[in-house]
Structure 1
Amino acid sequence: MDEKNYTGAIPGQQKGDVITAESTCTFVGPEEAIGFFNLAKSRLLHVNGWQERAGKALARFTLTDADGHPVPGAAREGLLICVDIPGPGGEQAGGYDWVKIEEIKEADSGDVQSVALRVRPVAAPHSSDAEPTHFYAQTSTSTFTVTREHARVTAAVYDRNIEPNTETGSLIDKVRNAIVGFFAEKAFSKLQWQSLTDGLMELS
């Protein structure tokens, strides 16, 4: 699968693993595709609805401010996302994993429209540990995109430079992150992101 990197938001791959998930819908003409692109873009930017799109058996995503307070509405650069994955969570963050929205970019050349949202693991709000409160290391990123190319609309997630986070100060969290990170790399993230991209592309 070719990266839909029209915005330039997807980082280059330097080390670690790569995970890509992609779902596509093709329409009769560009007018219908433009309308669906705008709908899918809204779904992407409303992070609080991701679990409903991906399936309730998978992770729950909550958009928050820098203090961890829930935020309604669309995603914005600088906000955090609290991730509640099935199974045991990190000890130091009350069972949650945290990422920061570090970039939201759009591109529009007429025949091509694209929006990208990139996140990176960070420490939980008010955490005494500078290391990310996440099973992935800080070098890891996830970039979520919705792209229209003529009459085709594609939702995709690009995980790049993926490595388990084993630098946390807690021994329990080191073990947990190594185990969860391994299974996320091999299976869970692909399942999660494929379910999300499929949900973003639902016609109803």
Structure 2
Amino acid sequence: MENDDFNAIPAQIKKWIPLQNKGKYSDTYSSLEIKELNNPDIAYKSIRHRLLDVNNWAHYATLTNAEFILLDNNGKNLEGLAAEGCFMKVRFYRLQKIISARHDFVLVKSIITVPDIFGDAVVMQLIPAHNPAKPGSEIEHFFTAEASNTLVLYRDAVKIHLSVHGRNELPNFKVTKTAKKIRNMVFAVLGILAVSKVQWKSLAHGLLNYNEKLL
């Protein structure tokens, strides 16, 4: 079924999703029926705004109890909507009892607007990154720099679609401390098998359905 979902993404949007070359991958899909909305145009604009409003993602991704904080290139908290070049730090509180759960960092590599007949589509790509508040370029994430997560929002005549596509997910062992290597191995395994999938599914569902009855 997921292959059918992926093939259904319009070609002009799908081309922005990286190719899978190595490691693990995941595809998570969620959608909202247009007929369930009082005003589809307003609903779509609201969902697009929520997608870029990273600081409030925790309100929508409720299943993983995760924290998402938008940062500038100096590592300082940033208000407003995400933009290319911003950083994010992410923390999964429910994993603290398993192993150290310090923040992981990602870079908002790109935010692409794709013209569409029903409303501009948005493609936002996140990649593992260093901590912008610290010197050096060591990746502070349990996946390597080659990994990515691409969030895709678009609309057709029937549904509003939101999907997340993880690509080239490999554990990050290119770190200086042995404790980090062990931690990243555990996080990478958990991320591949469970946490990432649940996190993105929870976020996609929440972004689409939050207060939808008011729209």
**TM-score, structure 1 normalization:** 0.90
Quick check: 1:15 aligned with 2:19?
no
Cα offset, 1:46, TM superposition: 0.3
Any conservation in 2 of the 1:30–1:150 contact (CA below 8 Å)? no
Query: Is residue 59 from structure 1 mapped to residue 61 from structure 2 by the alignment?
Result: no
Aligned-partner Cα distance in 1 for 2:122–2:38 = 18
RMSD value, Cα = 2.4
Q: Tell whether 2:107 aligns with 1:95.
A: no
CA shift, 1:44, in A, is: 0.2
2:198 match: 191
CA contact (8 A) 1:81 1:98 kept: yes
1:73 deviates by: 0.8
Provide the residue aligned with 2:85 in structure 1. Answer: 78
State the AA in 2 paired with 1:45. Answer: L
Distance 1:166 1:129 in 2: 16
The one of 169, 176, 188 equivalent to 1:181 is 188
Whether the 8 Å contact between 1:112 and 1:150 is mirrored in structure 2 is no
Partner of 1:118: 125
Match of 1:74, as an amino acid? Answer: L
Q: Distance in 2 between matches of 1:150 and 1:144?
A: 20
Cα drift, residue 169 of structure 1: 0.9
Q: In structure 1, what is the equivalent of residue 44 of structure 2? A: 37
Q: Give 1:158 shift.
A: 0.8
Secondary structure at 1:15's aligned position in 2? coil
| Structure 1 unaligned residues grouped into runs of 5+ | none
Higher helix share: 2
Matched AA of 1:144:
L
Residues 125-180 of structure 1 deviation map (CA, whole Å, 9 limit, x = unaligned): 24355331001110000111211012310111111111111111110000000011
Q: Percent identity?
A: 26
Q: Is the 8 A contact 1:123 1:131 kept in 2?
A: yes
Structure 2 contact 64–202 (Cα < 8 Å) conserved: no
